[in-house]
């Protein structure tokens, strides 16, 4: 049984609440919801807050997710509206899940190298983020002994899998997932799986989705920010899965957290079904752009005797350009800024084990070609100094 935080304990229902449940829908003397009395904007209708999000929106989302047949494990639960929570962003999802699983001072394990979002949110939540490691030997893999080491600490209440990782572009393999989910189940540690980049895969034979797995108590994060390539669309979701008893307890506590923040708006609930219809076409458009830019990178780094090389991602929106440790990362980025008015994120931003910069796969092909040419020239110049 996964462990939950003290601060997410909903407590016992008081006598009044118990009586209300017996009767069902009743009038409230203290009802201060203006939409119940015709005082709201009529277009928006009555507002009856549901901590999970509007039923219609969640039903549409469950149907959309049901069409995803690729699963990393045969042990999974079909998507259900009752196990979905509509939220504003995956960042909010991380925040809620840290509240659910961790009391202040508890720990959450996350993959390193990677985007520094989780340590940042953990710090705000009063939670410690402890790394386990990805290693590189020509391709990325999870250092399972480092996972085991992190989970040996009883204060670790959750482990994050990013599938695929950003910016390494590496997916969690079936073998890695089997080992990690087994460790989490044994240690009563919940899994948090971030799959926002899952649909942007380039390699063949990629492992399936982790969302919906019943291997261990699992919270999968996804949303429109990446599916529609539109970060201004602030709608994401949490999908809960696992053993029946754990899921029920997790839902009761997440309901309490969601009810405290009332995050769902009329706009979010109304727009979700239509946005889901747009997702497949937009996702394919962006994936094609990223794939075209990856071809540009392959061609640019195919020359002999370059001081830099391409580390190909399996998926995502980024690729890594690696160069010798004799070239200072800050010196390279400073040179790009001063000489070309072009900046970059160096490898140490992500705790990379080697010198590199992250390159976006989203610009138009022409822009990518010119920028990569400049990057290669800058690296070559510094390598000769």
Alpha helices in the chain (DSSP H): 15-23, 55-66, 90-101, 117-125, 144-151, 174-187, 224-227, 244-261, 266-300, 329-340, 365-383
Specify whether 251 is located in the same domain as 349.
no
With H, G, I as helix, E, B as strand and everything else as coil, classify residue 58: helix
Phi then psi for 181, rounded to 5 degrees?
-65, -35
Specify whether 272 is located in the same domain as 321.
no
Domain-ending residue, one of 216, 250, 279: 279
User: Is residue 60 in a domain?
Assistant: yes
Domain-ending residue, one of 279, 310, 328: 279
Specify whether 231 is located in the same domain as 328.
no
- Look-up: residue for tokens 């780094």? 301
User: Is residue 34 in a domain?
Assistant: no
CA of 277: how far to CAs of 65, 84, 85, 117, 282, in Å? Answer: 12, 18, 19, 29, 10
What order of strands is seen across the sheet that includes strand 345-346? 308-311, 318-323, 356-360, 345-346
Domain region containing 58: 48-279
User: Is residue 124 in a domain?
Assistant: yes
User: Is residue 17 in a domain?
Assistant: no
User: Is residue 213 in a domain?
Assistant: yes
Specify whether 73 is located in the same domain as 184.
yes
Specify whether 306 is located in the same domain as 171.
no
Q: Rounded distance, CA 53 to CA 188, Å?
A: 28
- Look-up: residue for tokens 């640019």? 300
Note the pLDDT of residue 373. Answer: 96
DSSP-derived letter for residue 11 is -
The 10s digit of each residue's pLDDT in 247-263 is: 999 999 999 999 999 87
Q: Rounded distance, CA 113 to CA 349, Å?
A: 9
Q: What is the CATH number of the domain that holds 364?
A: 3.90.1150.10
User: Into how many domains does the chain fold?
Assistant: 2
Q: How many alpha carbons fall within 13 Å on the CB side of residue 366? A: 0
Whether residue 237 contacts residue 86, with contact meaning beta carbons closer than 8 Å, is answered with yes
Average pLDDT score, the chain: 94
Is the per-residue pLDDT at 303 higher than 80?
no
Residue 182's pLDDT band (boundaries 50, 70, 90)?
A: very high
Specify whether 90 is located in the same domain as 118.
yes
Residue 40's pLDDT band (boundaries 50, 70, 90)?
A: confident
Residue 154's pLDDT band (boundaries 50, 70, 90)?
A: very high
Specify whether 165 is located in the same domain as 249.
yes
Identify the H or E element spanning 112: strand 107-112
Phi then psi for 172, rounded to 5 degrees?
-80, 125
Is the per-residue pLDDT at 13 higher than 80?
no
Which stretches does DSSP call E strand in 137-211? 140-142, 156-162, 190-194
Is the per-residue pLDDT at 12 higher than 80?
no
Is the per-residue pLDDT at 21 higher than 80?
no
- Straight-line distance from the first to the last Cα atom of the chain, in angstroms, rounded to the nearest whole number: 58
User: Is residue 356 in a domain?
Assistant: yes
Q: Rounded distance, CA 159 to CA 300, Å?
A: 38
CA of 60: how far to CAs of 96, 195, 232, in Å? Answer: 23, 19, 21
Specify whether 124 is located in the same domain as 269.
yes
Phi then psi for 242, rounded to 5 degrees?
140, -155
Identify the H or E element spanning 84: strand 84-87
User: Is residue 204 in a domain?
Assistant: yes
Note the pLDDT of residue 34. Answer: 86
Is the per-residue pLDDT at 99 higher than 90?
yes
The 10s digit of each residue's pLDDT in 277-295 is: 999 999 999 999 999 999 9
User: Is residue 200 in a domain?
Assistant: yes
Specify whether 258 is located in the same domain as 298.
no
pTM, rounded to two decimals? 0.94
Specify whether 125 is located in the same domain as 250.
yes
Domain-ending residue, one of 232, 264, 279: 279
Note the pLDDT of residue 200. Answer: 96
The 10s digit of each residue's pLDDT in 316-353 is: 999 999 999 999 999 999 999 999 999 999 999 999 99
Q: CB 223: neighbour CB atoms within 10 A? A: 24
Is the per-residue pLDDT at 69 higher than 90?
no
Closest CA to 129 of 117, 144, 146: 117
Specify whether 178 is located in the same domain as 294.
no
CA of 253: how far to CAs of 179, 233, 247, 250, 260, in Å? Answer: 28, 27, 10, 5, 11
Q: What is the CATH number of the domain that holds 145?
A: 3.40.640.10
Specify whether 77 is located in the same domain as 154.
yes
- Look-up: residue for tokens 């990223």? 290
DSSP-derived letter for residue 284 is H
């Amino acid at each position: 049984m996964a462990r939950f935080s003290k601060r997410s304990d909903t407590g016992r229902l008081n006598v009044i609440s118990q009586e209300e449940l017996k009767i069902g829908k009743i009038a409230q003397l203290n009802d201060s919801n203006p939409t119940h009395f015709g005082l709201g904007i009529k277009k928006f209708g009555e507002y009856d807050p549901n901590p999970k999000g509007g039923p219609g929106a969640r039903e549409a989302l469950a149907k959309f997710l049901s069409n995803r047949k690729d699963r990393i494990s045969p042990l999974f639960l079909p998507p259900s509206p009752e196990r979905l929570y509509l939220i504003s962003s995956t960042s909010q999802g991380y925040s809620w899940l840290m509240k659910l699983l961790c009391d202040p001072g508890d720990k959450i394990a996350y993959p390193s190298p990677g985007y520094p979002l989780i340590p940042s949110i953990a710090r705000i939540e009063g939670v410690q983020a402890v790394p386990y490691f990805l290693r590189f030997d020509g391709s990325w893999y999870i250092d399972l002994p480092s996972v085991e080491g992190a989970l040996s600490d009883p204060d670790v209440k959750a482990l994050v899998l990013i599938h695929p990782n950003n910016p390494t572009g590496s997916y969690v393999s079936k073998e890695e997932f089997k080992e990690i989910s087994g460790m989490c189940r044994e240690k009563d540690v919940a899994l948090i799986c971030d799959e926002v980049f899952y649909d942007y895969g380039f390699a063949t034979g990629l492992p399936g989705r982790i969302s919906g797995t019943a291997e261990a108590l699992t919270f999968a994060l996804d949303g429109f920010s990446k599916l529609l390539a539109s970060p201004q669309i602030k709608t994401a979701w949490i999908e809960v899965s696992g053993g029946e008893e754990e899921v029920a307890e997790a839902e009761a506590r997440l309901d309490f957290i969601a009810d405290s923040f009332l995050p769902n708006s009329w706009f979010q609930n109304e727009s979700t079904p239509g946005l889901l219809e747009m997702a497949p076409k937009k996702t394919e458009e962006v994936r094609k752009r990223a794939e075209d830019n990856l071809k540009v990178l392959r061609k640019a780094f195919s020359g002999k005797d370059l001081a830099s090389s391409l580390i190909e991602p399996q998926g995502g929106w980024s690729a890594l350009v690696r160069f010798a440790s004799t070239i200072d990362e800050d010196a390279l980025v400073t040179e790009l800024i001063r000489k070309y008015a072009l900046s970059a994120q160096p490898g140490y931003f992500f705790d990379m084990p080697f010198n590199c910069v992250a390159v976006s796969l989203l610009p138009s092909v022409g822009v990518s070609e010119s920028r990569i040419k400049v990057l290669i020239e800058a690296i070559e110049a510094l390598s000769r100094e």
